[in-house]
Each structure stands twice: as C-alpha cells, then as structure tokens.
Structure 1
C-alpha cells in the first residue's frame, strides 16, 4: 500500500527527501529528526518550520507509523530499480570511466571519441572526484559563512524588534504625560497622535519582521543547500560526479550578505519634538518651543537624553541599544533631528558649569563608527571647551579668548552666505 502513496506525502518539508527517523510536533506536522534539530539550532525560538507554532522544549515524539510507511516505500522503490544502472553510459551502455572537464559530467570512452566531447579535456573519475570535492568544500565554506551572517542578522532583528516595542511604550508614556498638562478638549489631538504612533510602530515592526522572515527563508535555503551538498559529497564518486554540475551551479547563485537595516527605528522626534508647541500653536496661544530637537537614534550609548529631547548628560553606557547605522558608536556625540540646507537659523545652547563640551554643526554624512577629529575636513564646524581652553576646531584648532566662563552659547547659521 505504501508503494502506491505519492512520494511527496512521505517527504520531509525541510529536506524534501523521504523521512528519516520522522518525529511529530503538537501541531501535527512531521519532520526528519535531524532536519528539525538543525532548523532549531539556527532559529531564535523553537517553532514548527511550516506553521511557526511554538514547540515544547521536550524532545519531539517519534512518528513510528510514518517511519514504517517510509521504510516500506523505500523497499518497494528499491525492488523496481535496475542495479548498476547509474554506472553505465545511457548513450552507449559502456562504463563511465571518464569525467569531461568542459561539460562537467561523467562519460564513457565512446563518448570521448564522439562529436559531443571530441577535443574536450577529460580526467579519470577517481581524480575528478577528488577535484570536485575540493571545489565543493570551498563552496560550502562560503555557504557556511553566509549562514553565520544571516544567523547574526536574525539575532539583531530580534533585538531591534524588542527595542522598537520599548521605544513605542516609552514614547506613548511621555506623550500621555504631555497631554495630561493640556485641557480636556485636547484629548482628541492626543488620540490622533497616539494613533499615528501606533501606525508607525506597526509599519516599523512589519518592515523588520518582513526582513527577518526573508532572512529566515534565506537561512532555510542555505541550510538546505549545505545539507544537499554534504549528501552529495558523502555519496559514491560516480553519483557525486553525476550531481556535481547541478550542485555547484546552484552554489554560485549565493545570496548577498544581509544588509544593515538603516532607518528601522521609530522616529521619536516626530512625536515628542516640540509636541506641546505644535498643539498649542493650533490654539493661538503660547507654548514652550525648542529650535533643536536631539535625535535619540544617533546618540552615543553613554549620552542620556531628556524626555523632551532638548538636553543631555553623560552617563554609564546604555547596553540596551541596537547598533543601528545612524548611531555614533565611538565618539560621545548626538545629532539634531532636523537638517538645514537653506535660510538662516539660530539658537542658544546652555553649557552651564560643564568643563568639557563641544557643539556646532555636523554634516549628516560624518563617520559614526570611528573616531575622527571634529574639524571641517571631516564634516564638523564646532567650538569646544577642553582642558580649560576654548577653541575653534579649525585646521589647525584656533584658541579663543573669553573673559568670563561661558554659560550660554549662541549658534548662528546663514546657509545662503555660507557663514
């Protein structure tokens, strides 16, 4: 009866071969035990590879009925095959003793003399098998490196998802505190902005999950490719040579490295920056306004920003931040959320009694993963207080004479004049 079953009904969804030691998950899906264990090794959570339902940490139960069916199917399939059929040339019936290096397939001595392979370089199957194994080993190392990169990308995705959720919760909490300071008739504005936040959170989470799902599919593809390559390498020489061309061609169509997910975090400044002013402005009244809003997604981990994103202080590095491309990783710096490319702008910065500070302008293209001098050639136009001296960070730095210690600094920009 098992011999009449379609082969796909007895095939593992992961390796697509007949089940080997099948196990059964609570969701009723079955897999080869080795396939399932290998999938869980590269996954963030133990779940079903088909329906993604979470699985128990206990070892899955063996599916003995399915195992018996597969063994019966294999037995019936083996009885219907001709022994030694894969060792003879299908064109001439001669033994396959040579390997054509041009067409990359095993051939017989008659094939070598035929028009199809005449003039082609050939090697004995034993030598060719060794060369092919070496090439496949090199290709498998590349695939394994890709697999490692995608595993790290999935771990980063899980961390980023958690951070986005924490961001959304923190922004929501701060927004509610701001709205509580307003009158009852402002509640509609509050609900509208919270709805916008929820929609952005869903978009950001959906974007990261889509990328994470794509990485999962790529990991599954790479895992399957590596497993099939291992099976080919462990097969007999002739079987390896027969499958070598198709296997190695699939290897060179490898996937690109996982991309760093720039712009995946919530735009906190959109919701918190000048929040009360924007709402109060619609009521034709007065509200606190700050011309510069700091961007938390660019802040170095040792900088802690205020709730309204207008001030900061140096603190113990926060280890719970994702390593997103926008963030400064070496220098203790943070950018404003708004870029200027025209007109005139000015604002005051309160430096107070701080003994070490630097402020000014920075190009949005400044390097953030390495430490560079804050000078114009590196995209910085700044002044600083360091070691008790005020300096304009030109090239070379210029000392500034100040009679009294600065408490507030006025920053002015005339973009059109370049001043």
Structure 2
C-alpha cells in the first residue's frame, strides 16, 4: 500500500525528505521531530511551521502509523531500484556517487544539495573508497598488533599459572622438609631432656635407697644392743656389774641420729624453668637467622638461588620463568625481599672465590627492563669486584684499596643519617662510605656472573630484657 502513495505525501514540509521519526501536531500536520525542534529554536512562539497554529508546550506525540508507512516505502524503493553493484540512495533513488566526509556516509547528488548535507565536504566514492581502505588497513594493522599483544599476554598468563603451581609445590616441599628438621630436632631434644630427667631420677633414688639401707643396718645394730642391755639388766647383780663397763663403752654411743640431706629431691626448676626458651635458644643451631632474604620473583633467569634464599650463583638460564614486572630481564641481578625506609641495618656477605660481583643497596624503583650503571644517579649504592679490581660505584667510579683479597663484605645502612658503609669485617676497616639523602625505600642488591656463590651469612639472635 505504501508503494502506491506519492513521495510528496511521505515527505516532511520542512526538509522535503522522507519523514524520519515523524511527530503529529494538534493541527494534524506532521514533521520530522528534528526538523520541528530546529524550527522552534528559531521562533519565540511554538507554532506549526505550515498553518502557524499554536502548539502545546508538551512534546509532540510520535506518528507511528506514518513512520511505518515511510519505512515500508523506503524498503520497497530500495529493493526495487537496486541494479548490479550500484546501490541507490534510499531517500532519492539516485546513484550514490559521493561520500560525505562530515557524516562519513555515501550520498547522491540530491543529498548533497539538501539541507542535511549542504555545505559538507564530499569526495567521489572511488577516491573515498581508496582513502577508507587505507585508513581501515592502518586500523587493522593496529588491531593486529593489539591482538598479538593480547595473545602474548595470554601466553604469559599460562606461563605464570604454571610457574605459580610449580612455586606452590616447591615451597610446600621445602616447608615440609624444614618442619621435618624442626620436628626431628624437637624429638631429639625431648628425648635428651627426658633422658636427663630419668638419669637424675635414678641417681636421686639410688642415693635415697643407699641412705635407707644404711639406716636399716643401724636399726638392726641398735636393736641387738637394746636386747643385750635388757638381758644384762635382768641378769644377776654380779653378772650385770661384770658386763656394765663393756656395754656402756660399746659402739652404740657413736651412732648419730639421721639428718635430712639437702638436694635429695629432683631439680624441677632445672628441667621446667624457661623450657621453651631454652629449646628455642638451642634451636638456633638448626634454625639460623638471616638478616636478608633474597626475593626470587626479582631474580634474573640466569641466577640460581639456594633453597633457603640466602645465596646466589650464575648458571644456565631458566627458560620457564614468567616475565613479571618485578624481575630483572637484562643482567644477572636480584633484590632482597625486605625494603628499608628508616633505622639502621647491616648484613655480611661471603664472597669467597667469586671474582665478578656487585653488592649494596638499590631503590625499589630501579629499572628492571634495561641495563643501567649501578650508580647513585640511577638509584644504586654499591661496590664491585670486576677484572680483579675493587671499585666503589660512585660517579665516577672510585678505586677501593685492599691489602688482601676480600672474603667477606659487611654492608651497613643508616637510613636516617643517609649513609651506606662498606667494610672488611676480618680487619674491621671501612672500604667506602656513600652519603645521600634518602627519600625512597631501599632494598639489598646483588649481582654476579660467577658460578661461585655469594652467601648472606646468618646472625646470632640476641634477647634482652
């Protein structure tokens, strides 16, 4: 039915185009909603653009019936007018020969002259198609790059997941081994202390029994003497007088009354007093304290860390490590796991036969994805052994004189005073001192390209009350 209606009956009186979202005024005239609103913006009184009759202040109602007719008309015209590869304008039935650069859509010559596209820059469809293909090709390449980045991210996620699972299994195994050692120590310590208790019990019981046996013998002797005296007393007078001196001068006068002996009971305080503390104090032999623990999540793939995370050495690269942001990716570096931002701290490193190392402190913000000199301007305060020479990595590097090959290096940080001191603990001499006003957290820093390990030495735990 809509195909039989003349096009002018389905055209807006304002823009002369097929109605788009038509609205109906009380005067029965219809307009495109946008055309009516644009007309009302230029007038003081809201009125009909055709008959000038005043309209209601309320938003005009949509003319759904007219909208359906327009859509049916445009659909029928578009289907009936398509020819080969030339798609016709759905508004005017003309060939789409131009491309509006403002609205980014193909239009016909009538559209170019209409109010909708009047004054807009246009170009021929062939030329516009080439430009659009070029832009879409560039956009597609950018999307392909992003796609590749996301694919790499997914692969990295898969590697990270596998690494986390491996970490969990390895840490669980090591934790069980450590607790097994503690359990074994506690079991042996328990057996030792119970054995000491049993030994003291046997010794004290034996001593009491010996005293008791001695007293039993004395009781028997005294009883015999008493019976002798009773017999003598009941004997004839001459017999009593004959034996009197011998009986009174006998050994019974030498018997002394038994006395309580101190220390005969078990020393409970020795066995129970501060028992847990004594065991803990003795446990330090199997549970040493390390002032610095290495962070394996920062370690370069070429570094191998010990199970207790207190030593490192250079080795074959581990290809299965995830490329996480905390990790050093260029050179064989690793950081400690605890950051310092106040007070004083110190730790001792055994360098031994290692001939290629850098030790010290680094800012938590040092770059992990590029190689930079380990100097203060880059957030490092370090000394090194390289090519047989000891240097303080200042700006410029400064030679450090030592009388003999260093076996250990003591690193001391006084964050509040802004000092990093390196010294030789065997000779108690300072090698070099950095001075700096620290504003960021600092982390212990280690570097090596030697198969000989660097070891962080344990420290005794001192308890004060």
Please give the TM-score of this superposition, normalised by the length of structure 1: 0.55
Task: Determine which structure has the larger strand proportion and give its number.
Answer: 2
Structure 1 residues 94, 180: CA separation in 2 closer, same or farther (over 3 Å shift)? same
Unaligned runs of 5+ in 2: 1-75, 187-275, 420-465
Q: In the aligned structure 1, how far is the partner of 2:278 from the partner of 2:308?
A: 20
Q: In the aligned structure 1, how far is the partner of 2:184 from the partner of 2:349?
A: 34
Matched residue count: 249
Moved more, 154-163 or 126-135: 126-135
After TM superposition, give the deviation of residue 376 of structure 1 in Å: 1.1
After TM superposition, give the deviation of residue 149 of structure 1 in Å: 1.5
Residues 41-52 of structure 1 aligned to structure 2 (within 5 Å):
none
Matched-pair contact (CA < 8 Å) for 2:81–2:93 = no
Matched-pair contact (CA < 8 Å) for 2:300–2:331 = yes
Coordinate RMSD, CA, aligned: 2.9
Structure 1 residues 282, 299: CA separation in 2 closer, same or farther (over 3 Å shift)? farther
After TM superposition, give the deviation of residue 361 of structure 1 in Å: 0.8
After TM superposition, give the deviation of residue 282 of structure 1 in Å: 13
Q: In the aligned structure 2, how far is the partner of 1:397 from the partner of 1:311?
A: 26
Q: In the aligned structure 2, how far is the partner of 1:281 from the partner of 1:350?
A: 30
> Which residue is 1:155 aligned to?
155
> Which residue is 2:328 aligned to?
328
Structure 1, residues 271-291: CA drift from partner, whole Å, max 9, x if none?
xxxxxxxxx999854441101
* 1:82 is the counterpart of 2:84: no
Bigger radius of gyration among the two: 2
> Which residue is 2:337 aligned to?
337
> Which residue is 1:15 aligned to?
none
Structure 1, residues 101-129: CA drift from partner, whole Å, max 9, x if none?
21111222222111111111222323322
> Which residue is 1:297 aligned to?
297
Please give the TM-score of this superposition, normalised by the length of structure 2: 0.50
Structure 1, residues 286-314: CA drift from partner, whole Å, max 9, x if none?
44110100011111112110000011122
Q: In the aligned structure 1, how far is the partner of 2:298 from the partner of 2:158?
A: 20
Q: In the aligned structure 2, how far is the partner of 1:415 from the partner of 1:180?
A: 39
> Which residue is 2:136 aligned to?
136
> Which residue is 1:167 aligned to?
167
Q: In the aligned structure 1, how far is the partner of 2:417 from the partner of 2:277?
A: 31
Q: In the aligned structure 1, how far is the partner of 2:138 from the partner of 2:279?
A: 69
Structure 1, residues 19-51: CA drift from partner, whole Å, max 9, x if none?
xxxxxxxxxxxxxxxxxxxxxxxxxxxxxxxxx
Structure 1 residues 329, 176: CA separation in 2 closer, same or farther (over 3 Å shift)? same
Q: In the aligned structure 2, how far is the partner of 1:93 from the partner of 1:283?
A: 98
Q: In the aligned structure 1, how far is the partner of 2:141 from the partner of 2:278?
A: 62
After TM superposition, give the deviation of residue 134 of structure 1 in Å: 2.1
